[in-house]
Every structure is written in C-alpha cells, then in structure tokens.
Amino acid sequence: MSMPVFKKVATATSFFLFALISFNVSAKISGLPDFTQLVEEYSDAVVNISTTQKIKKRKGNPHQTPGMPLDGPFGDLFRKFFEQQNFKKNNYQQDKANSYIQTRQTNDSLGSGFIIDSDGYVVTNHHVIRDADKIIVRLKDRRELKATVIGSDERSDIALLKIEADNLPVVKLGSSSNLKVGSWVMAIGSPFGFDHSVSVGVISATGRTLPSESYVPFIQTDVAINPGNSGGPLFNLDGEVVGINSQIYSRTGGFMGLSFAIPIDVAKDIVEQLKRDGHAKWGWLGVLIQDVNKELAESFGMKKPMGAVVLRVLDDTPAKKAGIEVGDVITHFNRATINRSSDLPLAVGRAPIGSNVNMRIIRDGKQKHLRVKIAELPAEEELAEKDSEPKETKSNRLNIEVVTLTREQRKRAKVENGLLVQSVEEGAASRAGIRRGDILLKLNGQKVKNTKQFLRIVKELPEDKWVRVLIQRGGSPQFLPLKIEE
C-alpha cells in the first residue's frame, strides 16, 4: 500500500516542480523585450546606401601579397578600422617602386542610413559617402534614388543627404542624454549587404572616447554591428533613435562584441548645422593636454587625479588670450567637470562659437577662475601651421630630413609655407642640388604645407621622370629639377 502512495506523492511532486520550472522559464521569457512592433513600425525608414568612387589604380607588382579588400559591402567599416591602424587605403600593399598613377577604376561601398524628414533628408556616416562620385539610396520598397550631399562633417562622422521623394516614412528621434548602461537597444542596417537586418543587445558604456576621435562621446554596445551597418540607426525600446552606428573594434574585421554609436544628441546638433550651413562648426581652445595620474595629482597639490594638464598653449588662440599657462590643470569647463583629459575636447567642441565660458583651473596648487572666448576650430592644415613646435621627418625616397618652419622662421624668410631642410644624404635630393638650410616651397607643383603632406607628395612622385622643386636659398627662390631613379 505504501508504494502506490509514494508513487502518487512523487508524481504530484514532479508535476509541481515541472510546473514551477515552466512558470519560471515562461516568466523569464516574457520578461525579455519584444522588438517585433518596433521593426514593423520603423524599418521602412531605414535605407541602404551604396556609393561609387573613381579611384586611382597604381602600378602593381605581380608578386605582391593582396591586402584586405576595401570595396564592396565590406568597405565602409574595414576602411574606417584600418585607417586607424595606418593600413593602406588601396587594394594592395605598395612598395617604393609603384607609386605613380596608371589608370582609374571604380570602388563601390555599402552602408546604411535613416530618413529623418518626409521631404527626403537622410542621415548617415561621413565615412560611408566620403569622396563618393555617385550615391544611391535604396528604400525598403526597392526604389533606388540618387542622393545629393547637403553637408558632411569628418570630425563627428555625420553626413546629411537629400533624396527627391514625398511622404517618406521617418524615424522618431529621441535623446541620448539619459541612456543607462544595461538598457536594451536595437540596430537595423545592411550588414554585408543584407538589407534591413535586425540585431539587438544592450548599452555597454557611454561617453567613450576612441583613438583619433576627440569630439564624440560614443555609446558602446554589444549589438552585432558589421560592415554595411555604418550609418544605420540605434533604437531604444520606445522606438526612438538614440544613436548612429559608426564603428567597431575588431581584430578580424567582423563583430567581436564591441560596437560604437554616435549619440543622437550630438548628431541632431550637427545635422541642423549641415542643413543650415552645409558644414559644422566646433569650438576651439588651442591647447595640448594629457591625463593627470595619481603621482601628477600629488605634485600639483590635488587630492585626487582628475582634469587635463596643459602641455602647450598655441599662439594666437583663445587659450593664450585667456591667460592659460603650461602646467595648468583644467578641472571644470562651462559647468562640465573634467574628470579625464578626453572630457575637455568634448566640452570645448560643443561650446557655442563666440561665447564666453568660465573655466576652473589649478595653478601652483591653488584654484583659479578664468574666462575664455571660444573660437571656431580651424581646419587640420591650419592647425598644423599654428603648432609652433617644429615637426621633423625623414624621407627615404629623397634621403633628406625636413622640419616644419616656426612662425618666426616663416616671418624672417617672408614665406607663407615651407619646410626647412635639416640634412641631405646621397640620393635624389642631393643630385638635384638641394642643400641643408634650403626652404622647400613646392614639390612637383604642389605647395609644401606640413610634413604629413610632404610625405604624401614624395610617396606619389613618379620614377624616372623629372619633376620640379621650388626652394628658397639665401632669400631668393630657385627651381631645381629632380628625378627619382628606379
């Protein structure tokens, strides 16, 4: 009699446990967000962007090893990633013997975007459409429309396009100011050319600063973002766009759990400027800075490490006029606390041009308040010229070492640009008659403005062909013929 009773109890217990487990599993499953309605409502406003660009094909070597291809749907994110790693922008590795132009070919790339206005305004990444000769926007209904660039900003990596169509579906723009780590988000885009692919994940961090990206506090997510997703929207659970998917961190070129999106609050400001002016303006202070570690904080008389210590103050800049000095630690800027040095460019960049901003610094162990008038951030070439510290480089193709002229040297030589020759070794430059102390003004018909540009010009010089070099020697300009032999 006892056995049947035990069986009944055991059966009842098993059923109870099974029901309990099923309930818990169901509860957990029902607790997960459902993205189906968001996809149905907003995916029509997400577009595929394809571009065509005429590129220079260089003389190749049949024994070269192919590099990572930058064309096709893989191109946009590969190119962005490999540029930061100092990879070549062409399809094959180059040697010193094949730098001249031979023919021209086309390079196609693929990205994503989203419609923000029913009149046809489309937002995407700058690097998706950079240098494009033709841009095609493909809608979900398979219409393909030619797009024009209203404006594009490299520093924020945002571009605004316009297509000619009416009553288009649009996304709903939200805010990125109140995002919380762990919140669910969804991306829609064209990874590897697969249109309107959906991937979901959570926000991993906010306010990330990436190498060579000083003006965007990126949103980090674990949403699967792959080549072709660039420029696509990042949605929250309310169906609002909170970011623009822009970059990935990868050792392979594919998704590895680290994706970065531009906050929509930054994007909205840039888009308005692009729509109004065709370009974006960024605030500028004019200092070189570094982080403050524990030891530096102690040396500055600070209780804890924070802020940005000033390494250099450039001439004729807002910082110079405001009285900022080398060794000052900037701890607060325009009501923003500067915890890390990377916080300062973000705060300065978004400050209104021409506005007067309060700053708090630590100088000689004491707090001090300064007021600075924000100027517009100059172009990269202007910034290079404003840097009074000489930059030097050595070119293996010419075997000369050059440095950037300081402001005083340019003034004395009465030149607007140029590089000072520091040394000349046996090679093409010495055969041309270039000497130590000469000022290089033009090379192959191009003005020499800075060392970075100089290296690019030298790299592209043809072999076994005479090119002209304009120098200044003893206050007098002079042309010299130069040839790089095979």
Structure tokens of 449?
């403005």
Per the annotation, the verdict on 157 as an active-site residue is yes
Go through 234-268 and write b for each residue having 16 or more CB atoms within 10 A of its CB, e for each that does not.
Answer: bbbeebbbbbbbbbbebeeebbeebbbbbbbbbbb
Q: Determine whether 34 is an active site residue.
A: no
Helices (H), 54-95: 75-84
Q: Is 127 an active-site residue? A: yes
Out of 127, 176, 195, 438, the active site residue is 127
Q: For residue 331, what are the contacts with CB-CB under 8 A and spacing of at least 6?
A: 306, 307, 337, 338, 360, 361, 362, 367
141 alpha-carbon distance from chain centroid? 32
Beta carbons within 10 angstroms of residue 413's beta carbon: 15
Report residue 155 as tokens: 């520093």
| DSSP class per residue in 18-60 | HHHHHHHHHHHHHTS---HHHHHHHGGGEEEEEEEEEEEEEPP
How many Å apart are CA 73 and CA 254, to the nearest integer? Answer: 12
- 151, β-bridge pairs: 160
* Catalytic-role residue among 157, 195, 328, 438: 157
CA distances in angstroms from 393 to 402, 423, 434, 454, 463, listed in the order given: 6, 11, 16, 9, 21
* Diameter of the chain measured on Cα atoms: 119
Of the candidates 197, 230, 246, 250, the residue annotated as catalytic is 230
Q: Which residues are catalytic?
A: 127, 157, 230
